[in-house]
Structure formats: C-alpha cells, structure tokens
Amino acid sequence: MNFIPLTIDPGLLLDLGTLQVWGWATKSLALPFGATAYGMVTMGQTELRDAETGPFELGAGMFFALPDGGMVRGGRGLAITVPGYRGLRQIGGPLEPAGRLRYIDGCSDTLLICPPRLGDPCLNHLHIPPHTDQTPHTHPSARIGVILRGVGECRTPDGVHPLRPGMGWYIPTGGLHSFFTRDEALDVVAWHPDSDFGPRDDDHPMINRTVIAPH
C-alpha cells in the first residue's frame, strides 16, 4: 500500500516497531514514558499535561511535542510516540492560512516543530491550494499525519483515497502518491521521522554568531 487512511479512534492505531500511532477521543490517553510524543488536535478542546508542566488547553489545529510521557484528555487527535528519543517540549498553533516556504506544484510548507539536531524528527504544515494536481512523488522515510482543513484526494497506484478533515493517514517509505484538490484548499499536518536539515555541534546560530576575540 502507498497510502493508508486512519480513522482516529481511541487507542493504538498503528505499531510500526520503532514508533507507535495513537488516537484519542474525549477520554484521556496516557502517553508512554521513555518516548517523545508528537500530537495534533483535530477537533474540540484538549487538555495536555505531564509530570513537570501543565495543564495546557489546546484547540483544534494546535500541536505539541512532549518529551517523556504525559496525558491528553478531551477533544480528538492523533499522537505519534517515538521510544528512546527525547525531543523538546513544545506547543504551537493553530495553523496559519498557508505555509511560509515554497513546495512543489505551488504548494507551501511551514516547519512547525524543527529538529533539535540534524536528523531528528520534525512536524510540518503542508498547504495545498485549490485546483492543485500534484506531481506524483515519494519520500525516503515514512510520513504520518492528519487532515485538518479542506477536502481533496490522495492519488496512488493502488487507487484514489478521499481526504476529509479529522482523518489520519500513513504513507510508508517509498509510497508513490500525489495530492489533488478542486475548489477547496487542503491543509495537512505531516510528521517526518528524520530530517536532512538541522543544527550540528559545529553549525548552529550560537556558535556561528560567536566571534572569538584575538589574543
């Protein structure tokens, strides 16, 4: 399969070994310790808390990264947990009307949660304008996310998958796909397990902007 729709029901939706995909709806979902959780609220109001901070109230279109367990309660959403990885605690959103960076075929993208180091996971907002017929393409790693606004289609060699607000999705590594819209734009939040962009010990703003005085 090149594209797998996910109905966001409470509990474990996918277990991919190196990561898990969870849904929550109204009732609380305990996020596992020893894992970083990336979450996206698709509907209603969600309370987010962990052992160190919170509670925080998140509305639809908001997102978070939680580094070591915690809980979400209320509303509806999807969370991706990565065992053995400690990210940075972050809360953001709701989504802007469009992305800030150019993407293929007139689409745009915003990097919502940046990788703390080169190669770490990241979270993106992909905006697909009306009347877009995207070029078929693949990615070198899996993509997981939700449809937050608008309607459209994901077209693959396996068939055409209707897209609607509130649904989740999973694209396996190398899955050939393209997004298609008619009169309405489509806003997608996409999680990437890795990145070819990000700070390194020898290349980041603090060290790059530090000028050592001559002796």
Mean pLDDT of 118-146: 98
Q: Are 190 and 145 in contact (CB under 8 A)?
A: yes
Can you give the residue ranges of every domain in the chain?
A: 4-92, 101-192
Vertex 171, ends 16 and 4: CA angle to 5°?
A: 85
> What does the pLDDT read at residue 215?
84
CA dihedral 158, 24, 185, 97 (to 10 degrees): -140
Rounded to an integer, the average pLDDT of 47-64 is 94
Instruction: Find the angle CA(146)-CA(147)-CA(153) to the nearest 5 degrees.
Output: 120
pLDDT at 78 over 90: yes
Task: State the pLDDT at residue 54.
Answer: 83
Distance CA 186, CA 150 (A): 4
- Cα separation of 104 and 169, whole Å? 20
The whole-number average pLDDT for the span 81-87 is 97
Residue scoring higher pLDDT (50 or 146)? 146
Residue labelled with tokens 């489509």: 186
Residue 205, preceding peptide bond in cis (omega within 30° of 0): no
What class is the 4-92 domain?
Answer: mainly beta
Q: Find out if CATH 3.30.420.40 is the number for domain 101-192.
A: no
The predicted pLDDT at position 178 comes to 98
With a cut of 90, say whether residue 123 has pLDDT above it.
yes
Averaged pLDDT for residues 61-88: 96
Residue 151 scores a pLDDT above 90: yes
Look at residue 26 in the predicted model and tell me its pLDDT: 86
Please give the structure tokens belonging to residue 54: 């919170």
CA distance 213 to 215: 6
Q: Whole-number mean pLDDT of the chain?
A: 96
pLDDT computed for residue 51 by the predictor? 84
Asked if the domains 4-92 and 101-192 are classified in one and the same CATH topology, the answer is: yes
How far are the Cα atoms of 110, 128, 145, 190, 203 from residue 106, in angstroms, in the given order?
Answer: 14, 8, 21, 17, 31
Q: Is a pLDDT exceeding 90 seen at residue 187?
A: yes
* Contact between residue 42 and residue 166 where contact means Cβ atoms under 8 Å apart: yes
Whether residue 182 contacts residue 163, with contact meaning beta carbons closer than 8 Å, is answered with no
